[in-house]
A and B are shown apart, each in its own frame.
Chain A
């Protein structure tokens, strides 16, 4: 069959257009807009524009030179505060319930006379990590995602991009990177996919490579738990959620600063080029459909992220239990591995178990803290971990954590390789393993360097 080709037609078109081709392009766009203008003029009638004035008044505040940034920081803080304060109670209830079930499961296994290793693998390994992931992650996600979707639907996020664009511009990046970054708060893999809204390949790559510097929902619980224990734990109870909120918001601002610095560095080195043109609509504010927001954010975001975490956490939990309970000589495989990592980890202000937990947590960031707890607990005496107080006891009293350990762990959580899903997504979007590798190398390098600096500086000054 003949191969159809448009080439002769195109040649003819060029002959007809002659030197006017550029003008035709303009004529097409102008013709369509003129027509739209005429039709709209005929069918639309206005009687007032009061409502638009209200939108403008709101914008006068949230994009003002004085209030723009404080409001932004405030909104961020309120979202975190509601998430932290609201998640505490349901988290506790879920943990109590799930660990009660664990006890009953143990009873059942005892009654059935099953071998110890089977109980250990299934209950202490698989079930316990599941219980952890659900009780730690579900409540904050069920609060954070709807709040975030509300902000999205309300029309606030484009204003954030509007306020921040100048900095991204200076960093040689695209203004919409502020939006992809915000998506990253929910899930970095989703943030990577969102980078498609950036058309210039160079700027899309910058946004992709730096997306991991904002903590995703899998890392928030780790940050929140550590902040609650170490920072908020040192002030009175009534202040603790507020202090925790500020600390988490501070970490996020730090993450944004790193994002901008690395974007700048990339655009000055391997991804050199002119910033492309950028247009951003500031849509009218709309009252969000609360019901729809709840349904969609629970179905699309919460359940998706949670199910992924569960699918990954269950086998990982089993694996950790095996590592912790298989001994070579008189040490478990887990502690041997941790021992190898210990010198490097110590230099970064961590310990071998923490670094190992990050490595084993590659499939999903959600399970880093559960892995750490499990690897601590398997060697220790504790069998149950129902509250943050128990966690504090485990970390501080039994494993010698200081506030510096917590700080370095939080920084490393913010700056290390992206989770497996995110890496897979980057590979799928970029089709180039070099960029995927770089996406893992850049945050890791940054994290290692910053942790080493913090650790050695603090120790040199003698603060710890």
Chain B
């Protein structure tokens, strides 16, 4: 995992992210409340980074800045050493809600992102079909979103994001709205997707176990203005939630939040 860090911005390495002095404030009750202060961070290409922290710490704000959906007050986001402005084709966002278009079938929803990027309808559908197979929804191509369960709808959202072949996958509490069983299955699925697609994965979550299960490093944000910390997760993959090291890691992380 450390080898890419020694060759920054080499042409073959894609999906490298750097944050430089990133700051963002929001008006709250008439005055500006800083949410993010001078965040500096390097994320290696192909790394899986989890962002955790109490609510209001700016997890989602940070992800939106990375996605280009918001602009920082100060600082910049560099992707493959180039500063970003707005959304870009190398990034795809997966939200907590699947955000599917209710009037399109599963197939057309997955093809949607490709079509917006100028891929022809037929080609987009063919590529979408492959992605749908990959998330195990081949039998539901012609279904409409309202016919799907929460877990299935979220798979469609993931397939739509993967279809555009992003270098960087940005996930905003993607499993937060799912039931416990589905969530475990989907965590395995995300681990597999990350392994197979070799994408950089930046995941906002409030689930510490999920963070340890998926991430190479966990970025802990706080609300008290103290600097964020990163904690490496040096556990072998595939990870076993019941392994003593995993449990110890979870305890350490919970300690960070004052939960014992």
A interacts with B = no
